[in-house]
Structure 1
């Protein structure tokens, strides 16, 4: 291990799918808790479409939490 170069984290890939159909796939550096993944799975198709657009501006799981708290009602 070298102290000269910064450590980089690799993104994790998360998928939301219905039987036989992938609906949404996104990457985050860091973990998305299972409870949060379940909240996303409970969204309607319209909410998933809105989330897909919003994900373009997300940079971490906290952005997803904020979106769910503010937009998924």
Structure 2
């Protein structure tokens, strides 16, 4: 179905396995910690929840790899 709609399957630019691992990690956080794995009633609700999750990930959630700072604070 993805190919028919001309959507790339890989989550990376170069189809590199290590980049896929990073994308899978971020997707796991979004699903497991920020509840983006649920079923939504409509696209508007999904977009609102996704926007909130991204904000939490970048502005609120402390990251061990960033010495317990947020990505927006570091970058």
Which TM-score applies when normalising by structure 1?
Answer: 0.26
More helix by share: 2
**Which structure is higher in strand share?**
1
Task: Identify which of structures 1 and 2 has the higher relative contact order when contacts are C-alpha pairs closer than 8 Å and 6+ apart.
Answer: 1
Q: TM-score, normalised by structure 2?
A: 0.26
